[in-house]
């Protein structure tokens, strides 16, 4: 091989190696780990209904191969193969689908199953949007992993613009005392959330004050006595329609409660609050309207 051909070969190899390095996709997930893909993901599995919505928002409709139960939005998600529930994954079916990327829910999926997926050699991105701006950030991250950046950027920008509009719409023009609010996410046992949870941040944005904001742990189980002592002005239940009606009816047995006296017992579709997706904008709008209502005479 003469010097010219040797130099040409070296340049070609350098180009191949540099191009290969550039082709790698790297993002940091919500557990702090760097996720690396050699090429964009085309076989993606979602491990929560909320993550399913985020994948669609990021432009991944054609790449999502499997979802957990209750992945019901958008409508197309109902037709996808199911791989168990968010808290009981079907490991065999996940492996059958041969994903090149699994998107997991940090605080919802069983940690031992997530670790098992990693040990089996699957690439797992851990998701846990903890603030409003984490939603568009996550959408952009997923768009990068699937090489759907244009769709992801469109969704992220739309979310940011609408969120800013909502903040301006419900911004208090005068200083008002925050409405003491009890957020009920479960009934047996009664459960609520602390100030780190996005639902609590929705309440704060809307002019409410989470009465259990300072408790330890993202979720908590306050006693009935502690709730009665706090005497919330507003109670918001996030169960499904029939469930919320039963939960709220229970509080009627304590007519001295401020929220009961003033008929300020409200139900909000949990999918608009519990799932940290673009639809939380609808949840913000609904909660703000409820908190801003004047008490019933």
pLDDT above 90: residue 285:
yes
pLDDT above 90: residue 283:
yes
Write the DSSP string, 38-98: SS---SEEESSHHHHHHHHHTT-TTTEEEB-TT--SSGGGGGSPB-EETTEE-HHHHHHT-
pLDDT the model gives residue 21: 44
Using an 8 Å Cβ cutoff, are 213 and 195 in contact?
yes
Q: Write down the domain spans for the chain.
A: 3-160, 173-292
Q: What are phi and psi of 92, to 5 degrees?
A: -65, -45
Using an 8 Å Cβ cutoff, are 115 and 31 in contact?
no
pLDDT-above-90 percentage for the chain: 82
| pLDDT confidence band for 172 (50 / 70 / 90) | low
Query: CA end-to-end span of the chain, whole Å?
Result: 95
| pLDDT confidence band for 294 (50 / 70 / 90) | low
CA–CA separation, 19 vs 14, rounded Å?
Answer: 8
pLDDT the model gives residue 13: 45
pLDDT the model gives residue 295: 64
Cα-Cα-Cα-Cα dihedral sign, residues 83, 42, 130, 234: negative
The average pLDDT across 171-192 equals 86
Q: Do domains 3-160 and 173-292 have the same CATH topology?
A: yes
- Superfamily, domain 3-160: Nitrogenase molybdenum iron protein domain (3.40.50.1980)
The average pLDDT across 42-48 equals 98
pLDDT above 50: residue 17:
no
CA–CA separation, 281 vs 133, rounded Å?
Answer: 12
The C-alpha R_g of the chain, in whole angstroms, comes to 23
Using an 8 Å Cβ cutoff, are 286 and 296 in contact?
no
Please give the residue that has the higher pLDDT: either 185 or 23.
Answer: 185
pLDDT above 60: residue 15:
no
Using an 8 Å Cβ cutoff, are 43 and 62 in contact?
no
Please give the residue that has the higher pLDDT: either 11 or 148.
Answer: 148
Domain 173-292: top CATH class:
alpha beta
The average pLDDT across 209-217 equals 94
The average pLDDT across 170-175 equals 67
For the ranges 119-123, 145-149, 168-172, 273-277, the lowest mean pLDDT is seen at 168-172
| pLDDT confidence band for 46 (50 / 70 / 90) | very high
Using an 8 Å Cβ cutoff, are 166 and 241 in contact?
no
Beta bridge partners of 85: 88
The average pLDDT across 261-273 equals 95
pLDDT the model gives residue 83: 96
DSSP H stretches of helix in 126-238: 134-146, 149-170, 198-205, 224-230
CA–CA separation, 105 vs 49, rounded Å?
Answer: 10
pLDDT above 90: residue 151:
yes
pLDDT the model gives residue 261: 96
The average pLDDT across 95-123 equals 96
Question: What is the average pLDDT value for the chain, to the nearest integer?
Answer: 90
| pLDDT confidence band for 293 (50 / 70 / 90) | confident
Taking only the tens place, the pLDDT of each residue in 66-89 is 999 999 999 999 999 999 999 999
């Amino acid at each position: 091989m003469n010097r010219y051909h040797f130099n040409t070969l070296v340049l070609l190899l350098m180009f191949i190696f540099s191009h290969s390095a550039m082709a790698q996709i790297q993002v940091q997930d919500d557990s702090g780990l760097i996720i690396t893909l050699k090429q964009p993901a085309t076989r993606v599995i979602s491990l929560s209904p909320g993550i399913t919505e985020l994948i669609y928002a990021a432009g991944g409709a054609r790449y999502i191969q499997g979802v957990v139960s209750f992945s019901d939005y958008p409508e197309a998600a109902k037709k996808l193969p199911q791989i168990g529930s968010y808290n009981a994954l079907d490991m065999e079916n996940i492996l059958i689908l041969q994903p090149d990327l699994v998107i997991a829910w940090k605080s919802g999926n069983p940690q031992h199953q997530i670790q098992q997926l990693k040990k089996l050699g699957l690439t797992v991105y851990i998701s846990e949007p903890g603030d409003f701006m984490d939603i568009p950030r996550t959408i952009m991250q997923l768009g990068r992993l699937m090489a759907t950046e244009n769709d992801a950027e469109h969704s992220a920008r739309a979310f940011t613009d609408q969120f800013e509009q909502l903040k301006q719409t419900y911004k208090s023009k005068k200083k008002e005392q925050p409405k003491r609010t009890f957020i009920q996410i479960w009934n047996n046992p009664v459960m609520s959330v602390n100030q780190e949870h996005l639902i609590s941040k929705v309440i704060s944005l809307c002019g409410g004050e989470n009465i259990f904001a300072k408790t330890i742990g993202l979720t908590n189980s306050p006693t009935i006595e502690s709730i009665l002592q706090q005497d919330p002005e507003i109670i918001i239940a996030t169960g499904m329609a029939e469930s919320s009606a039963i939960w709220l009816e229970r509080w009627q047995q304590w007519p001295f409660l401020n929220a009961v006296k003033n008929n300020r017992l409200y139900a909000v579709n949990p999918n608009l609050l519990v799932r940290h997706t673009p639809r939380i904008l609808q949840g913000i709008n609904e909660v703000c309207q409820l908190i801003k209502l004047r008490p019933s005479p």
